[in-house]
Structure 1
Amino acid sequence: MKNLLKPYWVLLTSTLPISVLLSLLMIEWQTIHTLLSPQTKVYWLAVFGVIVTILLSQSIYAGYQWFARKYVSSAYALLTLFVHLLGIIFYTTYSDEILPNNVPAWMFDGNKFIYVYTFLMPSILYALIVLIIVNTPDVTKASFLKNLGFSMAIPIGFYFFFFMIGSVYHPSHLADYMELFLWILCVTVMMSFYYFALRALYILIFNKGLVKRISPLVWKLIFALIFPLLGLSLYATLMTFGGLLGDFTNYWFFILAIINGIIVCLPRFKNPYTSLIIWILRTFSFSYTTYFFVVFLPYTPLSFLLLFTVVFGLLMLTPLALFFVHGAELLADYQSLKLYYKPYMLIVSGLVSFSIIPTIITINFLLVRNDLHSTLDYVYTPNYEKQPDISFSNIRKLATHLNKTRRVRASNFQWVPYIDSYYSWLVMDNLTLSSRKLNNLEAIFLGYPSYDTDEVELASRVSLQELKSESVYDNKSKVWKSWIHLSLKNGKTAASEYHQAFSLPTGAYITNYYLDMNGRREMGILAEKKTAKWVYQSILNERKSRDPGILHYSNFNQVELRVYPFATNELRTTGFQLIHKEPIQIKIGKYSANLGIQGKVTPIENNNFFTYIPRTEKAKLPSFSRQPYFHFILNVSDVKAFSRYNLQLANLGKKYPSLFKNAKISLTNAYVKTIDYKTNWKDELGKKNTEGGFFLQRAIQQIAYQESKNQSNSYPILLVLSDSKTSKLFTQEFLNKWSFAFPEGAEYFTMNEKNSLTRSSFLRPRTESHANLDSIIVSKKVKVWLLEGRKYFLPNDTTSSLIFKTNLLQEPYQFKQEDWQSGVWLTGQQQQLLLHPELYEESWRSCLKNSFSSNILTEMSAFLALENEAQKAVLKRKQQEVLDANANLDVSPDFDRMSEPELWLMIVIVGLLGIYRERKKIASRFFS
């Protein structure tokens, strides 16, 4: 056991964990330090000072002992225990001052402040081991029963003292120094118990003289098999009422407990080959033992406090005891196998074997990650040229797992410690999947009911009182630069929020935003949209006097403005800047503003990359009438409707034969297959898999994609055949981004089982209104722009139009601040990602960077005005997490903190301290 006294153990048990602790606390300090008072900063500096002092002194001592070839001494162990425990007492006593209530919970990861206990525990445990080894040079001369007796007597005496002192002193009568004395006494008693308990276990394991009286198989069975199974079974029973330490009810925990117990209890064999196999088996299951040791290590103080229940206290000590028993078996195996095999061979084989279980978990998580990304890619960033290859069974497993994960996070009691955190990091990139997206996946692939509906926004209680505007024409860049200033007034409701959506004309771009707060004008930060919305919502959830304002796209050419909070009758001002090529009108609520001098002629801007056609010039373009044809979208998720489709199509063919000449059919469930009506579509209908739901959005998107590629002298009338009960699945509230592909009108029609016809626009695809088929088959006129022998069909309306001639994702361009052409370029890149979503993952970061470079608002970005530097620091940190993750994942409503056991340890300790404060009443009840 002398090897445990080598100095490198100090580096492993102290330097390494404390370095991690220091880095975690530094991250939080950089975020919240601007919110801390000078007095609180002094406490933080004291914490940093203590941690840095411990880190440096431990590292220097380990280095000196290493180079001097000396062992770790008992003096080091005693000093380590004294300093670490005193630091924990100080930290616990002043925890409210270190993290005051004025720091919002969403700004930091609360677990990192609990980690002070976690990362100091290895040093404390190692110091106890050093004391045991140094003070027990000869285990044959040490008394097992005496140490066991001391370990049993200490908690009994402690509880007697704990309850009986209440009959003499009341907490309010104790001076501060007495409170501190009691803290030190409690910690000293606790450490004394662990010293004697671990020393008794040490003697039991290594005193060969005890073998004659106590068979090793007996205590191995107790610690390695009986107690672990008893603990898991008891905990599984308690999970019915809500777990406290996590969820260990998975059957694999029980299977591995049995396997591990059998492996630990295996005897040693003289055959070297057999012994090597046992070595590999023991190192394999040692990862299971180590996992529970790490999970329960922070509970070490709690196990002492629960010893009065006997069962719970002993079971919570089992992982610690099993770790030592299992470790001792491995040490004995290693010592005997060194005679036959080279040490490096044993170490390598042991490490490989130890990593088998973690590797299996990792591979399983990577497969889940791959399934998740493939599924999300198909639904949200598909390749319209390829048919996906996704297994419905894999989707079913994935949905089940994701649902369980969401329940875990909601319950705070059903997590699997560290493993679920690893899952969150490896599979989910520390982000999440919203319930809306999860419902979409289940509805599309599994045919579950869709609960996704258009969000209903409550009317804002804050009203727009005044709208002012100012416009200046820049002769150099030949664009207008306009400011819009809004005066907002609240009613009689406190803590109100202003929210308003408004439309932007084509070719108008927002380049700045401000919010007046606390007597100053705070300019908005252009940030990634998901992150900005998360920060805004987090501040909103505080319901405190913070001052965020956010401006972002909520739909194609539609911008949403939100400002919070408003006190009763408060008047606040906010505003934004636009750049635009021609005079425009902006309408916000009941107010409107004319920006630029009306009547000023704006010519068509045409170059090799795009053409911008102002509304006045578009009106002069020639008109053209294209020939309509039917493009049917059949809901094939319901096999019972197939015969009805045949009849409906036959009747329509007789009535409108001209619309069937170029007709097409898209067979749609979770997937879409498009064929010509003239082909044997009935055979294809019979072959079509009917699994999943009716993903109507994908059918419309694929048709729009083909229309944008192959504009011809004919256009489709989208006619959906489905029943009224089947949900039409849309993952987006709006489809009008695709309006450019349907210049005659962005809409579709639905014929149900009663041959009733309804109309739905791309702006509100779930909303239906009555329609008449005879009126919609009339050809509509569109405007046509002729360029180099190619026709570009444009809507016949009073809006301006943009035509993109090349893929602007691939064209080099130098983006400039508040530059109109940069805004057009960003629009072209967005349209390319709409047409080719498969490029989204590899391109969205560069597109966002271009938005930042030009300081122009896009669908990926948002302007966010924040009150203080701490909020800005959180925004920056969270934004980096989002940029590093898959674009289809969501930002959780709060920090993704898997409430590891340390948090609940503190809750239990606080509860026990409450018992201490009321000990006089408790003592009088039990001892009077």
Structure 2
Amino acid sequence: MKNILKPYWLLVSVSLPQLLIFVIMGWIFNIINSQLSEESIKLWTLFGALLGVFYISYTVYGIIRLLSKKDLHLKTGIIMFLTYIPYLYLYTMFSNKIIPSSIPDWMLFGISPNMLIVALVMPSMVVAMLICVFWLTPFKFGMLFNKKNLPILVVPAFWFVFFTALVPLLHAPFRSDYDHFTAMAFVIGTVVFLFIIVKLIYNLLSKRPEIWKKVVIPLVTLGPLFGLTLNNEFNIFGDFSNGYFYILAIFTGVLLVLPSSSNKYIRALLYIMKSITFTFSAYFFMIFLPYLPFSLLGLLLCGLGILLLIPVAQAFVHVRSLWDDFKFLAQHFNKTILLIVFICGASLIPALITVTFNNDKGQIDRALKFIYQQNLSVENEIKIDTKALTRSLDFLRENKASTNRSGNVFSNYRTPLISAYYNWYVLENLTLSEDKIKAIERIFLGKKHQNNSEGMMLQNDTGRVQTVFVDKHNVETVFAAKDKFYRSWVHLELKNSNSSEAFNAQFRSTFDLPEDCFITNYYLYVNNNKKYGMIADKRAANWIYDQIVTIRRDPGILSYIDNNTIEFKVFPFNINESRSTGFEVIHKKPIELNIEGQKIKLGSTSNEGGSVSDEGSGSAIDIIDGATIVPYEAKKELIKATRSPFYHFVIDRSLDSKGKGQELVECVQNYIKKNNLDYKNISISALNYNLKKLSADGDWQSGYNKLQAEGGLYLDNALKSIYFENYSSKSHNYPAVIFVSNNISQYSLTGNYDALKYLLPDVKSFYSLTPDGKLFSHALDKKAVTLDMPAGAIVPDEVIPWPGIDDIKAYLSADNSTSIVLNKSDYEINMDKASSYSLGTGFMLKAAAASMFLHPEKTADKTLEIVKASIKSGFMSPLTSYIVLENKAQEKVLLEKQKQILSTKKSLDVGEPTQMSEPSLVVIAIIAAAFVLVVRYRRRVKGMV
């Protein structure tokens, strides 16, 4: 045990863990400092400075002893106790002021500062304990009061002055001297108790092995099993229900109680297996280390506190057993080889976990990339191991960042540390929404999920009953003659009703913006202060909005929900409360907005300095390389045309088609014959999650029947591939996609088709053909596929060939809106022009968003590009939102979440924050509360006597 005096233990237990404290707590302080009172900031400074002094002192001391090749002084342990115990005690007393209850958990990104401090200081306490045990064995009481030890008394004297002088200055007196004395007595008693326990274990291991053997068998075999079983009834410490925990508990226990062998090969085998299972013992040692100070209280209250000590005792036994084997084997083998064997063995379990997680990561990444980021310019076909994917999705569901599945606040259904590692390694600390998990299951596994349109209602939408209305509005419009556009401010007075449902109400409205109209600013009055909004990634902005409304603060948000539809939300409203808000738009010509029945006219019908519509009529405006804007005035002069349909029959080859393939084939044949279709205007494909083209003018029936029925029906794969090919080839034919299936209403769309308004403006729907020969139409702007729109003959809408009928480069919508033409499909934003305040900037952002439809494989890069350009210009885009937050802390959280989202290349979602401090602080709170109740009960009983 003399090795505990090596200086590197001081660096490992103090320098490394506590460096994390400064990094993480500094990051937290940077976020929340604007929400802290002056008193709280003083406490942050004080406790940070004290910990800094301890950190520097012990680190410098450890480095000096290491360089001089000297062991730590025997009294180092006592000094560490006399610094860290009072520090933790006082930190706990003031923790509610250091992190006030007004700071919500999501603002800390799931990190528990209190548990962080305890968990990362505890290693130094363990080392201090072991040093003390070594120093005081054999223990003589007089050793503590040797004259040489008198300087040590300066430390507790410092803490006495610190407590008696500083606490009154901070105006935080304790409730009573009795409570304070009781708490201090508990801390001292716990330290003495743990010292005696550790000393007893050390003595038994060193001097009474025959007694230890009688104790170790139930301790390291039955104890862990009993503890795992008891915990799995309530999941207080985490989810350890996986069978591997039980297997490793039994295997580790058996290894530790096996008698030592004099055969070097048998001993080497035991050494290897103990090295492998050492990770198991070390894992539970780390998990239960923060609970160690409460083991005495648990023992006094219910006798189960001994279970908190078992992981610690097992770790000691494991280390001692490994060390004995190492010393024996060092006589027969090279020490370096033995050390390498230990490192490799201890790394095996983490490596296997990582390999398993990496498989999940690969399965999920491949599935997401195929669904959401497929390269449409190449032929895509994927092979999926459905069993592996099923297991990956099941495990992902178990590890989603949801602390409580059952609704019981005392339960924790995540596996400590391992769940956090999974969320970091596989999901990059984001999450995968249930909608996307179901989409993967539906597409690759053929699972059926209820097909409804309630998805939006399932989102956090506090105050869904609309009791807030637009009481009045005011408009300010200025015509910028030089730039040829209007700048209009729409000022709204929102008022809540006096009904019983009006408490904490939310204003939510949607309204349409014309094509050449863009939102460039937003404000909301918060606590009588006019606050202007900030532009952020739409996912991050809506995430923080949903978080804030749960604590009833004051956010407001504007977002696109499709091409030209804006969602507007403000929260909260008390009964009869009025709140002022408004937004700025720039627009090319006078327009009218309809917000909650209020018709709001922007701009004058008379030419104030000349209307844009009067100048440049009939000409296209080339705003930037790669995109052309064609206004309605220019389109009026062009010839309209109707494209003739080209029929794309896509036949179901999913699991649903099993045994029904011939029926679907005959359905296609009958439709072709009935409508006298020319095979030159037909393509036939088979679809499950892969799209397989068949020879329309050959024996396509045999080709179809040879394909295996598997998976689900991935409608978007066919739609996007066909539309991309039609757009890229500048086809003169309308792509009439007809799905042939007996169960298409069980499926839904996963993609967004808003960009088709600019790319293929006549494509607004697709079709399905049922086995009985009925044709149905399905709108592309609806996710659910329902059989409620019977279709007759397929007649496409009119379009305008651009620039003319003889040289068609694109098709424009034949309506009164402005059209966008991508001169190249892979459109890139010119960041130099993104800062210009003009209509062209707004169109540039829309053109970039449309380009994402053609190049989903570049979604991450293009999203980052659009968000940056939107922030730089101040123009809200389809991928960004304008949001007003109550304070600077919320804005910093928003920026952190935005950074996290934009840094990933995957199609992941914003979810609940990952709880990084393991295990839960709830357990400690329960134990401490029980202790307080016992103390108060005893006081009451004494008072009655």
- If the length of structure 2 is used for normalisation, what is the TM-score? 0.87
Shift of 1:560: 1.4
Alignment of 1:161-240 (within 5 A): 176-207=176-207, 210-211=208-209, 213-214=210-211, 217-232=213-228, 234-235=229-230, 239-240=232-233
Alignment of 1:495-514 (within 5 A): 495-514=504-523
Partner of 1:390: 384
Partner of 2:764: 746
5+ unaligned residues in a row in structure 1: which ranges?
A: 143-173
Match of 2:581 among 556, 574, 579: 574
How has the CA–CA distance of structure 1 residues 676 and 741 changed in structure 2, closer, same or farther, with 3 Å as cutoff? farther
Letter in 1 for 2:419: D
Deviates further, 375-384 or 566-575: 566-575
**Cα distance in 2, alignment partners of residues 76 and 897 from structure 1:** 31
Partner of 2:925: 906
Partner of 1:378: 370
Partner of 2:869: 850
Q: Verify the 8 A CA contact 1:535 1:875 in the aligned structure 2.
A: yes
SS in 1 for 2:777: strand
Deviates further, 258-267 or 697-706: 258-267
1:96 and 2:96 are equivalent in the alignment = yes
Deviates further, 375-384 or 197-206: 375-384
Alignment of 1:41-440 (within 5 A): 41-67=41-67, 69-108=69-108, 109-136=110-137, 176-207=176-207, 210-211=208-209, 213-214=210-211, 217-232=213-228, 234-235=229-230, 239-240=232-233, 242-270=234-262, 272=264, 274-308=266-300, 312-384=304-376, 385=378, 386-406=380-400, 409-411=403-405, 412-440=411-439
Shift of 1:351: 1.7
Shift of 1:540: 0.6
Partner of 2:558: 551
Partner of 2:545: 536
SS in 1 for 2:665: helix
Q: Verify the 8 A CA contact 1:464 1:489 in the aligned structure 2.
A: yes
How has the CA–CA distance of structure 1 residues 720 and 459 changed in structure 2, closer, same or farther, with 3 Å as cutoff? farther
Partner of 1:621: 638
**Cα distance in 1, alignment partners of residues 306 and 809 from structure 2:** 82
Deviates further, 519-528 or 328-337: 328-337
Q: Verify the 8 A CA contact 1:817 1:854 in the aligned structure 2.
A: yes
Letter in 1 for 2:896: R
1:714 and 2:736 are equivalent in the alignment = no
Partner of 1:154: none
Describe the superposition over 1:593-619 as per-residue Cα deviations: whole angstroms up to 9, x where unpaired. Answer: 344756523431137522211112112
Shift of 1:367: 1.6
1:604 and 2:597 are equivalent in the alignment = no
SS in 1 for 2:304: helix
Shift of 1:255: 1.8
Q: Verify the 8 A CA contact 2:846 2:878 in the aligned structure 1.
A: no
Describe the superposition over 1:895-916 as per-residue Cα deviations: whole angstroms up to 9, x where unpaired. Answer: 5457624442233322332233
**Cα distance in 2, alignment partners of residues 391 and 857 from structure 1:** 42
**Cα distance in 2, alignment partners of residues 363 and 894 from structure 1:** 25
Q: Verify the 8 A CA contact 1:467 1:485 in the aligned structure 2.
A: yes
Shift of 1:855: 2.4
- If the length of structure 1 is used for normalisation, what is the TM-score? 0.88
**Cα distance in 1, alignment partners of residues 193 and 54 from structure 2:** 25
1:522 and 2:531 are equivalent in the alignment = yes
Letter in 2 for 1:366: N
SS in 2 for 1:719: strand
Deviates further, 348-357 or 650-659: 650-659
Deviates further, 458-467 or 193-202: 458-467
1:652 and 2:648 are equivalent in the alignment = no
Deviates further, 556-565 or 639-648: 639-648
Letter in 1 for 2:129: L
**Cα distance in 2, alignment partners of residues 138 and 337 from structure 1:** 33
**Cα distance in 1, alignment partners of residues 829 and 535 from structure 2:** 24
Shift of 1:767: 6.6
Letter in 2 for 1:486: L
SS in 1 for 2:560: strand
1:593 and 2:589 are equivalent in the alignment = no
SS in 2 for 1:409: coil
Match of 1:824 among 832, 843, 846: 843
Shift of 1:427: 0.9
Letter in 2 for 1:501: T
SS in 2 for 1:716: strand
Partner of 1:8: 8
**Cα distance in 1, alignment partners of residues 111 and 7 from structure 2:** 33
Shift of 1:442: 1.8
Describe the superposition over 1:252-278 as per-residue Cα deviations: whole angstroms up to 9, x where unpaired. Answer: 112222332333344445555554444
Shift of 1:782: 2.2
Letter in 2 for 1:593: K
Describe the superposition over 1:20-49 as per-residue Cα deviations: whole angstroms up to 9, x where unpaired. Answer: 223222222222221122223333333223
**Cα distance in 2, alignment partners of residues 791 and 201 from structure 1:** 84
SS in 2 for 1:561: strand
Match of 1:691 among 710, 720, 723: 710
How has the CA–CA distance of structure 1 residues 124 and 610 changed in structure 2, closer, same or farther, with 3 Å as cutoff? closer
How has the CA–CA distance of structure 1 residues 851 and 74 changed in structure 2, closer, same or farther, with 3 Å as cutoff? same
**Cα distance in 2, alignment partners of residues 608 and 299 from structure 1:** 64
Shift of 1:217: 4.8
Alignment of 1:750-765 (within 5 A): 750-765=768-783
Letter in 1 for 2:316: F
Shift of 1:878: 1.9
Letter in 2 for 1:540: V
SS in 1 for 2:550: helix
Q: Verify the 8 A CA contact 2:470 2:596 in the aligned structure 1.
A: yes
Shift of 1:727: 0.9
5+ unaligned residues in a row in structure 2: which ranges?
A: 144-173, 406-410, 458-463
1:873 and 2:892 are equivalent in the alignment = yes
Letter in 1 for 2:8: Y
Deviates further, 704-713 or 779-788: 779-788
Letter in 2 for 1:134: W
Describe the superposition over 1:414-453 as per-residue Cα deviations: whole angstroms up to 9, x where unpaired. Answer: 2211111111111111111112222222222222222353
1:560 and 2:567 are equivalent in the alignment = yes
Describe the superposition over 1:668-696 as per-residue Cα deviations: whole angstroms up to 9, x where unpaired. Answer: 33333344533333223223333233332
SS in 2 for 1:657: coil
**Cα distance in 2, alignment partners of residues 481 and 342 from structure 1:** 81
Letter in 2 for 1:707: N
**Cα distance in 2, alignment partners of residues 565 and 896 from structure 1:** 28
Shift of 1:869: 0.9
CA RMSD of aligned residues (A): 3.0
Partner of 2:444: 445
**Cα distance in 2, alignment partners of residues 175 and 750 from structure 1:** 74
**Cα distance in 2, alignment partners of residues 494 and 688 from structure 1:** 59
**Cα distance in 1, alignment partners of residues 465 and 660 from structure 2:** 42
Q: Verify the 8 A CA contact 1:511 1:818 in the aligned structure 2.
A: no
Shift of 1:628: 1.8
SS in 2 for 1:221: helix
Q: Verify the 8 A CA contact 2:491 2:581 in the aligned structure 1.
A: yes
SS in 1 for 2:561: strand
Deviates further, 554-563 or 384-393: 384-393
Q: Verify the 8 A CA contact 2:471 2:493 in the aligned structure 1.
A: yes
**Cα distance in 2, alignment partners of residues 916 and 393 from structure 1:** 56
**Cα distance in 2, alignment partners of residues 349 and 778 from structure 1:** 74
Alignment of 1:754-793 (within 5 A): 754-766=772-784, 773-774=791-792, 776-778=793-795, 780-786=797-803, 789-793=807-811
Deviates further, 831-840 or 336-345: 336-345
Q: How many residues align?
A: 881
Shift of 1:660: 4.9
Question: Identical aligned pairs, as a percentage?
Answer: 26
**Cα distance in 2, alignment partners of residues 550 and 447 from structure 1:** 38
Partner of 1:163: none
**Cα distance in 2, alignment partners of residues 756 and 577 from structure 1:** 49
